[in-house]
Structure 1
Amino acid sequence: MADTTTQIQAGSTTSTPLTFEEIDDLIYSARLGDVDSLRTDITNLSQKYGCTASDILQCAIDLEDESEGGTGACLLHWPAANGNIETLNYLLSLLPTPQPTQTPTETSQSSQRPTNSIINYRNNSGNTPLHWAALNSHLECVKALVNAGADIAAKNNAGHDAVFLAERSELAALPADDEDVGEGGGEKRGDGEATANGVTAIEDNGEADEGRPVSQGMQVVEWLLGCEEGKGLERGVAINEVEVGAGIYHGN
């Protein structure tokens, strides 16, 4: 394993490293959705290094080399990918909430949300936690991230936003050259992440019948486009079309 450390800013001057083993333990708990272990470890580490729980969250990044399966993901990515809303809500609760603005007329709902770069942290493929949640059709996780301040319009290295990926989760297959393949669990498919990043949703749900209920992926798409933060966004994939040559069906 790589001898990796991440720097924590404790207070305003002291810098303390998180060891590779400490980060690995945090990632393991986040991936499994083990909230109790995650809470205990974060509390112990914050006491050990004399910093806040939010500082630990900021620094727990998967920095293992890509050749060894590293993703560059933060702790928020894992529960977002796996649909572990309890774990995700716990981690989001650690983000600092900004003080009310000086002007009362600007005390909107958005001004009360945590403003923190970690919520929009990009992994090695440029995907944020919201990208992973949308790709794997986890609506409650998508809502939690957006309500906490996630950027809906953020695009990954392939130029795709969360709406696009939620739509693509409807497809039976993704292009081989698209970096989205493997996200949210591609490298570690057997450990609880959604297999093939939601691509198996069609296979798991059976035949694409005309009367089938709106799929989870489309629920995510409709919510993202309908929420206040999603105003102005457009669909990225043609809906209600059949691509006969590729054998791909787009349902309702």
Structure 2
Amino acid sequence: MITPTDDDKEEVLLAGRYGDLDDVRGFVSKFGSGPLADIRDENDNCILHMVCGNGHLDVLEYLLPLVPSSLLAAQNSAKSTPLHWAALNKHLPVVQKLVEHPNGPGIDLIDIKNAAGHSPLGEAELAEWEEGATWLVKMMNLDAEGGEKEVGGAEDAVGPEDVEVQIEDADGQIAKMSISGGAAKAS
């Protein structure tokens, strides 16, 4: 395989940004998938930042089997991951695909904080994206008091109508969220 030039790298990042699946496929045909993991723009954004920030699910689905799973947690110069960008821009199918990717970091992605101290959940809340924040809270690994996970049979199961979550943002502000009947309500 030949090595991509700086122009080739810039073009594939733009193809990711604009959702041009044919151009991304063309790059992979010409250079293989290996270079995709190392390509960054001037702000240290990778191809997944571009794809996820702009909600291009088809390109994401094409790329996920080709890139190392560590790229899902890649942080740019502001320490934001592709999940931060997807949450900020309210792209639920992309958020779901990133968190649920079988070979990826999974729910641990939700806990990564950017330079501003925000997790992807925090970005969803700042964007006033209730649907995404609700989904992320449901996916989170919430521990019982004392740091131990609650484990039990069906008689110990807690339905979504019984869940209330308090989240502290980087400024120390507390946001309360109740999940009731499958829907979240901020208080």
Question: TM-score, normalised on structure 1?
Answer: 0.54
Tell me if 1:60 matches 2:32.
no
* Distance in 1 separating the partners of 2:9 and 2:121: 30
Q: Given the alignment of the two structures, is residue 231 of structure 1 paired with residue 147 of structure 2, yes or no? A: no
Residues 18 and 236 of structure 1: CA distance in aligned 2, closer, same or farther (over 3 Å):
farther
Instruction: Answer yes or no: is the 8 Å Cα contact 1:163–1:236 preserved in 2.
Output: no
Instruction: Measure how far apart 1:232 and its partner are.
Output: 2.2
> Matches of residues 136-155 of structure 1 in structure 2 within 5 Å?
136-148=89-101, 149-150=104-105, 151-155=109-113
4+ aligned runs moved over 6 Å, structure 1: none
Please give the secondary structure, in 2, of the residue aligned with 1:235.
strand
1:123 to 73, 76, 93: 76
Percent sequence identity is 32
Q: What amino acid is the match of 1:220?
A: G
How far residue 239 of structure 1 moved from its aligned partner, in angstroms, is 5.5
Matched residue type, 2:62: Y
Matched, 1:41 2:27: yes
| Paired position in structure 1 for 2:10 | 24
CA drift of 1:22 comes to 1.3
- Secondary structure of the corresponding residue to residue 80 of structure 1: helix
Residue by residue over 1:32-70, the C-alpha shift from the partner in whole angstroms, topping out at 9 and shown as x without a partner, is 101011111122112xxxxxx1x12212211xxxxxxx3
Total equivalences in the alignment: 148
Distance 1:251 1:223 in 2: 13
Aligned partner of 1:95 in structure 2 is: 67
Distance in 2 between residues matched to 1:34 and 1:156, nearest whole Å: 28
The alpha-carbon distance between structure 1 residues 21 and 218, as it changes in their structure 2 partners (threshold 3 A), is same
> What are the equivalent positions in structure 2 for 1:75-224 lying under 5 Å apart?
75-95=47-67, 116-148=69-101, 149-150=104-105, 151-170=109-128, 217-224=129-136
In 2, the alpha carbon distance for the partners of 1:118 and 1:153 equals 16
Q: Hey, what's the Cα distance between the residues in 1 that align with 2:118 and 2:37?
A: 25
Question: How far is 1:17 from its partner?
Answer: 5.3
Whichever residue aligns with residue 26 of structure 1, its letter is V
Q: Is 1:73 aligned to residue 5 of structure 2? A: no
Higher helix proportion: 2
- Structure 1: state its 5+ residue gaps: 1-9, 11-15, 47-52, 63-69, 97-115, 171-216, 241-249
Report deviation, 1:20: 1.3
Q: 1:60, 1:142 → 2: CA distance?
A: 22
Q: 1:236 to 1:137 in 2, by over 3 A?
A: farther
TM-score by length of 2: 0.71
**CA distance, structure 1, for counterparts of residue 29 and residue 20 of structure 2:** 14
Are the structure 2 counterparts of residues 144 and 94 from structure 1 closer, same or farther at C-alpha, using a change threshold of 3 Å?
A: same
Cα root mean square deviation, aligned: 2.3
Higher relative contact order (CA 8 A, sep 6+): 1
Taking the aligned partners of 1:232 and 1:42, their CA distance within structure 2 comes to 39
